[in-house]
Structure 1
Amino acid sequence: MTSPHRSAARIQIGTTLRRLREEAGVPREKVGEVLHCTMTKISNIENAISGVKQAELEKLLDLYQADEATREDLLALNSEAHRRRPKSKIGGTIPPWLRRILDVEAIAAEALYSSSELLPAVLQTEYYARALMVASGVGGEVLEKHLQLRLERRALLTDREPPLKLWAVIAEPALRSGIGGPEVMRDQVEHVLSMTERENVVVQVMPQGAGAHALSGTTLTLFRLPVGMPSLASVDVPFGDNFIDGVKQVERIAELFDHTRAKALGTEESRELLTRIVKET
């Protein structure tokens, strides 16, 4: 069994611990007394912001009177999560916020994406991604390492089993942005068009002139995680990504995404527009 990524393990452990605590009717104040910690730490563990030490986990499982199967499962998962991860084969330092994105993306069953400016990383071609990185000031060896990492993410749509399901709503101006020049942009749109032939990839275009919509001006990805794990949203900000994990907030984001894709062109109309953009670029 492949060792779980650290963020994914924290999500699983934190979610289960919260359920066990609520089912046992144990207030957080009591947990604080047992672990000799603050309410903030308990919240951070349950929301996967921070991990839990093995000794602390054992105390919590005792307190919640967890059954033996649950106990063994969580202790094994937590042990794997704390093992030293092998270095990335591309070397170098990966920013923590990017690592969190990659960890969540790697286990996600589905990704719902909306942007008025950019194409999702898993659909980006090499030269489009390179142009974006150069424009942001990345260069040299760091550029090449991050570019390789970016391109490896595309395998989630094609090589993983089951593959990641992607539903992307992309604004027409993003497809005509000229990033990298006409040839780069044409190849990029052609790639998007070819990927829509896959059953696990749905692309809708928000046509130019459609007016404002629920997610105007936002680049957002909503990750649907495996059964038993909460959905998470990632919002692009200038210097990284901001995770949103509040249940009500995530539900609201899902509603906004539904409103947005309802306003976009249908899948066949979108393919027709993508084909036209390729010819016009």
Structure 2
Amino acid sequence: MPPASPGPILRRRRLGLELRRLREAAGLTGDQVIEHIGWASASKLSRLENGRSRPDPQDVRDLLDLYRVDETLRAELLGITQEAGDIRGWLKNFPAMTQQQRNFAELEAGCAEISEYNPVLVPGLLQTTGYARMRISSAWEVDQEAGDPEAGEDIDTEIKARLARQSLLTREFDAPRYTAVLEESALGHRAGPPEVLREQLAQLCELAARPNVTLHVLLRDTPIGQWYLPPTAFSLYRFADPLDPETLAIEGGFTDVMSTEVIALNRYKVVFKWLCAAALSAPDTLSWLTESAERLSGTAAPSTAAGGSAMAPAQRRSSTGRLTER
């Protein structure tokens, strides 16, 4: 079972924010800190403050000595430093993990709330084994044709790593509140054969019934706000500890970008609000998922099975409001 405590990547960011705050409170520039401590590299402090390197405990002690930090805060930050560097210990909580999946697993650990949108896929935390295999194997075919020597080396391990992340939604204690907006096209005929889609729809129905999971289906012809079109998939992460920085992850197909910048976060929060307003309500989404699964099984009622959408026009919600492959 994945841990409820924050992962190393989040601990690094928290430590970096605290170290920057302490330096600024001490009235020191980065160059002055480097000179006082005697570090050879001027980029060392920058990497620490931006959470981009594994912190060395002695380096952190040197900084805390320079900033004259009291014992209580010192003990807290040294504890965070240990957590930020204990990658192997943290990974022992997962039956399988890969580098591609680890970055997201580290973000998801310790979350109080996760909000996700993907314009073409079912998000990774909701995927079945079959759906995940379709997504990963088809994406790796692109890598192979592009000349990536590691493409397709171990698809099974990649799938197991993705599935290992999912148990945080169903754990007994401290499960995060999870909300996702699913595009209708993510469950359409282009996404996979009927048996794969049928299994995926059934799993979504089960997850939608959980008290911590809220799913919204966005029908293909429903406008968002004032005809807004979200250009990318994105995820928003809020953590149990309010001092841990909220994080935005933007998926760009083959490149992912992560940010804690407040304005960027706020923009995507607005977009997610618009998406939820435009999409079907949670109860209507469950009905849509159930009827779609029945239609694939050949058991849907005639009035439901007819036409392009599983949901009748009267059940569509109008907008009342004005984001790689995982």
- Report which of the two structures shows the higher radius of gyration computed on alpha carbons: 2
Contact 1:114 1:215 in 2 (8 A): no
Look up the match of 1:62.
65
Indicate the SS of the match to 1:19.
helix
Distance 1:78 1:264, change over 3 A: same
Look up the match of 1:34.
36
State yes or no: 1:189 paired with 2:189: no
Look up the match of 2:167.
155
1:99-151, CA deviations, whole angstroms, 9 ceiling, x for partnerless residues?
22211112222111011111111111111111111212378761111111111
Look up the match of 1:266.
281
**CA distance in structure 2 between the aligned counterparts of 1:228 and 1:156, rounded to whole angstroms:** 21
Distance 1:66 1:177, change over 3 A: farther
**CA distance in structure 2 between the aligned counterparts of 1:2 and 1:167, rounded to whole angstroms:** 18
Indicate the SS of the match to 2:162.
helix
**CA distance in structure 2 between the aligned counterparts of 1:180 and 1:225, rounded to whole angstroms:** 34
- How far does residue 158 in structure 1 lie from its aligned partner after superposition? 0.5
Look up the match of 1:14.
16
TM-score, with length taken from structure 2: 0.76
Look up the match of 2:111.
108
Distance 1:39 1:171, change over 3 A: farther
Look up the match of 1:142.
154
Q: Please report the RMSD computed on the Cα atoms of aligned residues, expressed in angstroms.
A: 2.7
Q: Point out the more displaced range, 159-168 or 210-219.
A: 210-219
Look up the match of 1:223.
237
Contact 1:224 1:232 in 2 (8 A): yes
Indicate the SS of the match to 1:159.
coil
Q: Give the count of matched residue pairs.
A: 279
Unaligned runs of 5+ in 2: 142-150, 297-326
Contact 1:3 1:81 in 2 (8 A): no
**CA distance in structure 1 between the aligned counterparts of 2:87 and 2:176, rounded to whole angstroms:** 27
1:26-83, CA deviations, whole angstroms, 9 ceiling, x for partnerless residues?
3334333334466654343222122332222112212222110111122233234334
Indicate the SS of the match to 1:239.
coil
**CA distance in structure 2 between the aligned counterparts of 1:160 and 1:28, rounded to whole angstroms:** 45
Matched residue type, 1:225: F
Contact 2:6 2:111 in 1 (8 A): no
Indicate the SS of the match to 1:104.
helix
Distance 1:26 1:258, change over 3 A: farther
Contact 2:101 2:158 in 1 (8 A): no
Contact 1:215 1:260 in 2 (8 A): no
- How far does residue 179 in structure 1 lie from its aligned partner after superposition? 2.6
TM-score, with length taken from structure 1: 0.87
Contact 2:230 2:271 in 1 (8 A): no
State yes or no: 1:170 paired with 2:170: no
Look up the match of 2:47.
44
Indicate the SS of the match to 1:114.
strand
Unaligned runs of 5+ in 1: none
Matched residue type, 1:63: L
Contact 1:54 1:75 in 2 (8 A): yes
Indicate the SS of the match to 1:119.
coil
Identity score, percent? 30
**CA distance in structure 1 between the aligned counterparts of 2:277 and 2:6, rounded to whole angstroms:** 36
Contact 1:215 1:256 in 2 (8 A): no
Look up the match of 2:291.
276
Matched residue type, 2:256: D
Where does 1:86-105 land on structure 2 (aligned, <5 Å)?
94-95=98-99, 97-105=100-108
**CA distance in structure 2 between the aligned counterparts of 1:48 and 1:145, rounded to whole angstroms:** 28
Matched residue type, 1:54: P
State yes or no: 1:246 paired with 2:261: yes
